[in-house]
Amino acid sequence: MTLVRPFLHDRVDIIGDIHGEIEALERLLGRLHVDIARGRAERPLIFVGDLVDRGPDSVAVVELIQHLVNEKIAQVVLGNHEHNLLRGEEKEGNGWFVDHADGADCFPGPSGPQLFASRVATSDEKEKIRRFLLSLPVALESRELRVVHADWFPEDIEAAREVGDYSAFDALRRCAATEFDLRGAPDEVAIRNYAVPLPYHHGLACQHAADQNREPIRVLLSGREKPLRTAGDPSEIPVPFLSGKHRFAERARWWREDDDERAVVFGHYWRRLEGRNRGKMDVFEGIDPLAWFGKRRQAFCVDYSVGKRFEARAYGRDLREGALAALRWPERTLLFDTDTERFATRL
């Protein structure tokens, strides 16, 4: 079996990034009339990945979804957060699964570094989660629809069709063609220190984007990147701090060049129903929060930022600034875990 697989059904509900928010998931599944205990659903579910990290109970989220997969009423693609767990990489918000050797797993809270309030997995739970994640595909497709966590890059989708497991896929790399001028670049410690702002460094930005773009697994799971800016005074280019690092490269809007005529649904990009993302380049700037977008209006991001709730809790903000969404296919209707029921624009 390859890492790109067919949908088992034509009519599906596609659910966005969950990030350990078990209550949101249970509420949304209730609205979709899923009978969790009996393993029955009116229609099958597709999960776009990022089931885990930062939220209260990633273990419960994975166990619930694995149950739905076993009952054959759900399919799941791997997200970058799941992939980090498989690689054992320490990332902000995954201390519930990966031991953080250099310090505790914290985020910038209202009064300094704050621990994530996440249920920690036992070693048995970890082993079960690991085996489940290794069984997941990286993308799903039919004649009308494509689903991937972040970026449907045709060259890397083709590569994923040729491999059957993540150890083979992880090993694929394009050659590093260029050497970048890294004189005066900040070191890794400075890049991870949110307390001290960093000036923009173009060589480092190019290096970061190139490192990202040469690995097929990273491209599909967290998207192609490009340097923040190619021209202008570096001191005037703000370098955002996101998910534990200063970011010199930004996400590319790949859907503008996507030439496939099929619809493509993905998560990952922190879409907002209202307002915009704090301190962050918004890849959806100028796009209606409920609209299809891209070269042929073929693209839809179903991640409505429920993963921001850990932060909203810490800062006492309204939890509804993020939501968990389901896109009903082929109707193209959106349903949320919150009280908003709104409809996506038709093509």
Q: Whole-angstrom Cα distance, residue 81 to residue 42?
A: 29
- Letter for the amino acid at 309? R
β-strand pairing of 139-141 with 245-246:
unpaired
Q: How far is the CB of 276 from Mn ion (least distance, A)?
A: 18
Residue closer to Mn ion (CB basis): 18 or 163: 18
Q: Is residue 80 involved in binding Mn ion (CB under 5 A)?
A: yes
Q: Is residue 50 involved in binding Mn ion (CB under 5 A)?
A: yes
Interacting stretch for Mn ion, rule CB under 5 A, among 33-41, 43-51, 137-145, 195-203? 43-51
Interacting stretch for Mn ion, rule CB under 5 A, among 76-84, 110-118, 121-129, 183-191? 76-84
Q: Which two tokens stand for residue 73?
A: 């009423």
Q: Are 96 and 82 in contact (CB under 8 A)?
A: no
299-301 β-sheet, strand order: 4-6, 139-141, 145-148, 263-266, 299-301
Q: How far is the CB of 347 from Mn ion (least distance, A)?
A: 25
Q: Which two tokens stand for residue 296?
A: 């042929």
Q: Whole-angstrom Cα distance, residue 309 to residue 18?
A: 10
Size of the site for Mn ion (CB under 5 A): 4
Residue closer to Mn ion (CB basis): 140 or 206: 140
Q: Whole-angstrom Cα distance, residue 58 to residue 39?
A: 20
Residue closer to Mn ion (CB basis): 50 or 258: 50
Q: How far is the CB of 10 from Mn ion (least distance, A)?
A: 26
Q: Is residue 218 involved in binding Mn ion (CB under 5 A)?
A: no
Q: Whole-angstrom Cα distance, residue 67 to residue 128?
A: 12
Residue closer to Mn ion (CB basis): 93 or 186: 93
**Footprint (CB under 5 A) of Mn ion, residues 256-285:** 268
Residue closer to Mn ion (CB basis): 80 or 213: 80
Q: Is residue 66 involved in binding Mn ion (CB under 5 A)?
A: no
Residue closer to Mn ion (CB basis): 200 or 300: 300
Q: Which residue of the chain is nearest Mn ion when measured via CB?
A: 268
Q: How far is the CB of 16 from Mn ion (least distance, A)?
A: 10
Q: How far is the CB of 275 from Mn ion (least distance, A)?
A: 20
Cα separations in angstroms, 229 against 163, 205, 250: 35, 9, 9
Cα separations in angstroms, 31 against 84, 178, 277, 309, 327: 31, 51, 27, 20, 12
Residue closer to Mn ion (CB basis): 50 or 141: 50
Contact positions vs Mn ion (CB under 5 A): 50, 79-80, 268
